[in-house]
């Protein structure tokens, strides 16, 4: 049945066929009522709720004494104190012991005919060998390791080897520039970098070792680089520092015992954009993060033992961490490691992979869905008979894309879960539970266990109760997988998340709650934009542009984009009022690509003679946004501009085109 075509009411969860029963089943009481009861328990008695879930989902080498300590107000939360566990043991060993031949990783290479499959037994062996290599390079418990790799199984092995020996991984998306890589390596004080000679995506190769070499010119602390040979290309080599992955791992034995870690020991760092220029190293801790990953995998995605999970995210972002690696492996299922792009060699690639590997769960950002929807339904081939859950992440999914996902991709047989969360939340915070809670196209729906959302008035910080309300989204209670700090900058952590509204975690997003209690996520309230599901701060792009010697001032704002969701547009003034040439324009784009990475390049650049500024010199980006949206008649009060005539000239510049 296609409940969607029956009107705009919620789609009931029991509209979907399920080979086995959902974890949260209908047991006389409806699954939705059961969700509500469990959610209420998780809020009223978090200690008991999370204590029992943590023992149920993870294997602890020492049980914890206390479930939670600290408060949002003080920003000193810790979970599962006294507990000891190892993340790698939980992801690999326990499954390798129970089910050695079960498939853990399914590598689908950029070239459709290539790839390989690793069982849990294989995975344990390869992780152990790499663990020895890291130790041999001097990596000790608590040390940070930088990972700058394409989506190959070795990248997942790298994460697991780090956490096996108690090292903290810091994955840097392999699309970041050498400058960005350098800053992240230095901020985290990494001594070892794991990379590949080249990466492959969409039929193209990228010389990523070359980018590492450039970054390391200014990273004096790095002593070793391990290079996975992905292609046959030769690369520049620094003897003593550089080592070929394939040569060194085979020297080591197949087993090394996992390190005993405290629940609050750091698991990983992941840099993300903040509203100021400098990226933040978000720190996650071992016990709490793993509980969040496993719990959301089990209840939001309703993962069962025999499932094959395909998350299209890159391990360079949080989605790849939690849902390519940790959640599926903690639950002992098979996870697809996809190296390529959805359009290569043709727009059927995702659907081919789903059929080839009997995928049950598919999880991707709306930007990819928009692109595929636009390419035409004729590419959505295959029967996708095993598909049970279709997830969306990273940005709001428009109702018509949601419906396309449901009707064309899922053939009305799979449940859509629009999952709202952030690098900082570690795992889903607002999302439907597949098979258990109803959905509405475009709504992230209901809070996950332990999440107590509040809609606040941005100006007063007052909570807005009731239905049909809108404001900023905050959470009233701590949950296990929330980030513990910003690496080396706890004050910044407090300022960004916990101080804006005392006693709450502030998400930075706007949201509304409708008459049925569904939450709808609006968009960022700060200067962060979302391009193809990638978080970029406009301040960071401005800082990159201003570094160019020709640029006097820069203001970057977001515009809507059919494919990428949002795109950035830069308004610049040049020094000495010089005229813009095509060369200068190209150079400025290159400047952003070089400083941050190709994905951050502005879509358009307008060179103007002045920016709209208040008398105190503050750039009024709101005016620029309105002009770009063609809403010149709704500029609002421009009387505070130091030179109101600048508006007319900017309108003319935009009309003339970039
Ligand atoms: C997981 C991830 C976080 C920001 C977040 C919000 C946006 C994420 C969303 C969504 C609407 C969803 N966002 N999921 N907006 N609906 N389902 O994307 O983490 O890269 O840290 O970005 O993404 O604005 O604040 P991250």
Cα–Cα distance between 433 and 439 in angstroms, integer? 9
Nearest atom within ligand 1 for CA of residue 528: 24
Residue owning the nearest CA to atom 15 of ligand 1: 395
CA of 420 to the centre of ligand 1 (A): 6
Nearest atom within ligand 1 for CA of residue 534: 20
Task: Collapse the DSSP code of 36 into the 3-class scheme (helix H, G, I; strand E, B; otherwise coil) and give the result.
Answer: helix
**Cβ contact 418:433 at 8 Å:** no
Calculated CA dihedral for residues 423, 425, 427, 432, nearest 10 degrees: -120
Number of neighbours of residue 112 by Cβ within 10 angstroms:
16
Q: Where are the alpha helices (DSSP H) in 110-152?
A: 120-136
Say yes or no to pLDDT of 6 above 50.
Answer: no
Which of 79 and 382 is assigned the larger pLDDT?
A: 79
Nearest atom within ligand 1 for CA of residue 508: 25
Nearest atom within ligand 1 for CA of residue 419: 17
Nearest atom within ligand 1 for CA of residue 420: 17
CA of 498 to the centre of ligand 1 (A): 18
CA of 396 to the centre of ligand 1 (A): 8
**50-66 pLDDT, tens digit each:** 999 999 999 999 999 99
Nearest in space to 536 (alpha carbons), one of 592, 613, 494: 592
CA of 272 to the centre of ligand 1 (A): 12
**Cβ contact 323:311 at 8 Å:** yes
- Percentage of the chain modeled with pLDDT above 70: 97
CA of 562 to the centre of ligand 1 (A): 18
Q: What pLDDT is recorded for position 271? A: 96
CA of 590 to the centre of ligand 1 (A): 27
Nearest atom within ligand 1 for CA of residue 319: 1
Residue owning the nearest CA to atom 18 of ligand 1: 394
Residue owning the nearest CA to atom 22 of ligand 1: 422
Residue owning the nearest CA to atom 5 of ligand 1: 422
Quote ipTM for the complex: 1.00
Residue owning the nearest CA to atom 19 of ligand 1: 422
**226-238 pLDDT, tens digit each:** 999 999 999 999 9
Cα angle value 99/103/104 (rounded, 5°): 95
Q: How confident is the model at residue 1 (pLDDT cuts 50, 70, 90)?
A: very low
Residue owning the nearest CA to atom 10 of ligand 1: 395
CA of 395 to the centre of ligand 1 (A): 5
Task: Work out the average pLDDT over 132-146.
Answer: 98
Say yes or no to pLDDT of 615 above 90.
Answer: no
Task: Work out the average pLDDT over 645-650.
Answer: 92
**506-534 pLDDT, tens digit each:** 999 999 999 999 999 988 888 888 898 88
Cα–Cα distance between 205 and 198 in angstroms, integer? 6
**235-272 pLDDT, tens digit each:** 999 999 999 999 999 999 999 999 999 999 999 999 99
CA of 428 to the centre of ligand 1 (A): 10
| Strand 519-524 relative to strand 505-513, pairing | antiparallel
**376-404 pLDDT, tens digit each:** 999 998 889 999 999 999 998 999 999 99
Say yes or no to pLDDT of 135 above 70.
Answer: yes
Cα dist from 182 to 213, 312, 460, 542, whole Å = 10, 27, 41, 19
Q: What pLDDT is recorded for position 19? A: 61
Number of neighbours of residue 464 by Cβ within 10 angstroms:
15
Q: How confident is the model at residue 641 (pLDDT cuts 50, 70, 90)?
A: confident
Nearest atom within ligand 1 for CA of residue 272: 21
Q: What pLDDT is recorded for position 4? A: 36
**405-418 pLDDT, tens digit each:** 999 999 999 999 99
Probe target for ligand 1 pocket from 364, 535, 600, with the most ligand atoms within 8 Å of CB: 535
Cα dist from 529 to 396, 533, 539, 568, whole Å = 12, 9, 10, 8
Cα–Cα distance between 195 and 227 in angstroms, integer? 5
CA of 273 to the centre of ligand 1 (A): 12
CA of 387 to the centre of ligand 1 (A): 24
**570-599 pLDDT, tens digit each:** 999 998 878 888 899 999 999 999 999 998
CA of 61 to the centre of ligand 1 (A): 34
Task: Work out the average pLDDT over 348-362.
Answer: 97
**Cβ contact 218:184 at 8 Å:** no
Q: What pLDDT is recorded for position 5? A: 33
Nearest in space to 453 (alpha carbons), one of 43, 137, 31: 43
Q: What pLDDT is recorded for position 15? A: 60
Nearest atom within ligand 1 for CA of residue 431: 17
Task: Work out the average pLDDT over 455-479.
Answer: 96
**Cβ contact 93:218 at 8 Å:** no
Strand locations in 176-249 (E): 192-196, 199-201, 204-206, 224-228, 242-244
CA of 425 to the centre of ligand 1 (A): 10
Residue owning the nearest CA to atom 20 of ligand 1: 535
pTM of the model: 0.91
Structure tokens at 268: 């990983």
Nearest atom within ligand 1 for CA of residue 397: 16
Q: Which residues pair with 535 in a beta bridge?
A: 530
Q: Is 103 exposed, middle or buried (0-12, 13-18, 19+ CB in 10 A)?
A: middle
Task: Collapse the DSSP code of 252 into the 3-class scheme (helix H, G, I; strand E, B; otherwise coil) and give the result.
Answer: coil
Structure tokens at 496: 């960004």
CA of 16 to the centre of ligand 1 (A): 27
Nearest atom within ligand 1 for CA of residue 524: 24
Q: Round the average pLDDT of the chain to a whole number and report it.
A: 93
Cα–Cα distance between 432 and 434 in angstroms, integer? 6
Structure tokens at 290: 């793993």
Number of neighbours of residue 378 by Cβ within 10 angstroms:
8
CA of 5 to the centre of ligand 1 (A): 28
Nearest atom within ligand 1 for CA of residue 392: 17
Cα–Cα distance between 598 and 606 in angstroms, integer? 19
Cα–Cα distance between 126 and 157 in angstroms, integer? 7
CA of 533 to the centre of ligand 1 (A): 7
CA of 44 to the centre of ligand 1 (A): 27
**Cβ contact 148:172 at 8 Å:** yes
Nearest atom within ligand 1 for CA of residue 535: 20
Nearest atom within ligand 1 for CA of residue 418: 17
Which of 6 and 455 is assigned the larger pLDDT?
A: 455
Cα–Cα distance between 239 and 617 in angstroms, integer? 52
Say yes or no to pLDDT of 489 above 90.
Answer: yes
Cα angle value 330/336/340 (rounded, 5°): 140
Probe target for ligand 1 pocket from 275, 397, 520, 521, with the most ligand atoms within 8 Å of CB: 521
Nearest in space to 154 (alpha carbons), one of 174, 137, 178: 174
**Cβ contact 159:208 at 8 Å:** no
Q: Which residues line ligand 1 (CB under 6 A)?
A: 272, 317-319, 393-396, 418-423, 444, 507-509, 521, 524, 530, 535
CA of 31 to the centre of ligand 1 (A): 27
Cα dihedral sign, 417-423-425-426: positive
Probe target for ligand 1 pocket from 394, 532, 538, with the most ligand atoms within 8 Å of CB: 394
Say yes or no to pLDDT of 483 above 50.
Answer: yes
**80-99 pLDDT, tens digit each:** 999 999 999 999 999 999 99
Q: Distance between terminal CA atoms of the chain? A: 49
**96-122 pLDDT, tens digit each:** 999 999 999 999 999 999 999 999 999
Cα–Cα distance between 574 and 556 in angstroms, integer? 15
Instruction: Give Cβ neighbours of residue 501 (< 8 Å, ≥ 6 apart).
Output: 456, 461, 472, 474
Residue owning the nearest CA to atom 6 of ligand 1: 395
């Amino acid at each position: 049945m296609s409940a969607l075509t029956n009107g705009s009411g919620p789609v009931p969860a029991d509209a979907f066929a399920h080979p086995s029963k959902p974890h949260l089943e209908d047991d006389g009481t409806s699954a939705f009522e059961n969700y509500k009861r469990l959610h209420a328990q998780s809020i009223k008695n978090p200690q008991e709720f999370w204590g029992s879930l943590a023992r149920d989902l993870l294997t602890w080498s020492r049980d914890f004494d206390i479930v939670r300590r600290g408060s949002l107000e003080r920003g000193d939360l810790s979970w599962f104190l006294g507990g000891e566990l190892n993340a790698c043991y939980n992801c690999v060993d326990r499954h390798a012991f129970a089910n050695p031949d079960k498939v853990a990783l399914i590598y689908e290479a950029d070239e459709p005919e290539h790839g390989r499959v690793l069982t849990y037994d294989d995975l344990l062996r390869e992780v152990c060998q790499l663990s020895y290599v890291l130790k041999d390079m001097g990596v000790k418990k608590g040390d940070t390791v930088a990972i700058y790799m394409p989506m190959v199984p070795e990248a997942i092995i790298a994460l697991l080897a780090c956490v096996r020996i108690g090292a903290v991984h810091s994955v840097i998306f392999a699309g970041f520039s050498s400058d960005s890589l350098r800053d992240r390596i230095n901020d985290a004080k990494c001594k070892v970098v794991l990379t590949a000679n080249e990466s492959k995506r969409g039929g193209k190769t990228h010389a990523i070792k070359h980018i590492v070499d450039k970054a390391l010119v200014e990273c004096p602390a790095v002593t070793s680089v391990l290079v996975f040979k992905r292609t046959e290309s030769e690369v520049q080599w620094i003897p003593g520092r550089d080592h070929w992955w394939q040569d060194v791992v085979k020297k080591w034995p197949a087993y090394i015992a996992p390190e005993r870690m405290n629940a609050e020991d750091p698991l990983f760092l992941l840099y993300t954009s903040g509203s100021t220029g400098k990226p933040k190293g978000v720190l996650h801790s071992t016990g709490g993060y793993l509980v969040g990953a496993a719990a959301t995998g089990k209840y939001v995605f309703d993962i069962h033992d025999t499932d094959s999970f395909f998350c299209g995210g890159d391990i360079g972002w949080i989605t790849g961490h939690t849902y390519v690696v940790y959640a599926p492996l903690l639950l002992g299922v098979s996870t697809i490691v996809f190296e390529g792009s959805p359009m290569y060699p043709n727009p059927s690639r995702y659907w081919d992979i789903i059929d080839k590997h009997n995928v049950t769960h598919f999880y991707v950002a709306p930007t990819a869905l928009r692109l595929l929807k636009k390419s035409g339904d004729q590419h959505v081939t295959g029967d996708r008979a095993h598909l049970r859950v279709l997830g969306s992440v990273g940005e709001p999914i428009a109702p018509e894309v949601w419906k396309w996902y449901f009707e064309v991709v899922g053939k009305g047989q799979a449940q859509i879960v629009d999952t709202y969360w952030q690098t900082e939340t570690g795992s889903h915070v607002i999302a439907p539970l597949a098979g258990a809670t109803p959905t509405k196209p475009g709504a992230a729906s209901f809070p996950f266990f332990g999440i107590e959302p509040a809609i606040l008035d941005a100006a007063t910080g007052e909570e807005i109760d009731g239905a049909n309300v809108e404001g900023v989204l905050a959470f009233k209670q701590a949950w296990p997988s929330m980030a513990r700090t910003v690496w080396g900058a706890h004050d910044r952590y407090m300022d960004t998340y916990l101080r804006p509204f005392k006693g709450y975690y502030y998400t930075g997003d706007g949201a509304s709650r409708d008459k049925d209690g569904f939450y709808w996520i609006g968009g960022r309230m700060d200067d962060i934009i979302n391009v193809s599901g990638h978080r970029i701060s406009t301040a960071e792009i401005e800082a990159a542009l201003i570094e160019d010697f020709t640029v006097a001032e820069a203001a970057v704002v977001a515009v809507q984009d059919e494919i990428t969701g949002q795109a950035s547009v830069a308004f610049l003034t040049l020094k000495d009022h010089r005229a813009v040439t095509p060369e200068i324009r190209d150079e400025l784009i290159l400047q952003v690509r070089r400083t941050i990475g190709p994905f951050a390049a502005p879509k358009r650049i307008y060179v103007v003679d002045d920016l709209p500024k208040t008398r105190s010199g503050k750039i009024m980006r709101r005016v620029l946004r309105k002009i770009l949206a063609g809403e010149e008649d709704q500029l609002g009060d421009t009387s505070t501009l130091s030179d109101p005539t600048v508006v007319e000239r900017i309108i003319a510049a935009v009309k003339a085109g970039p």
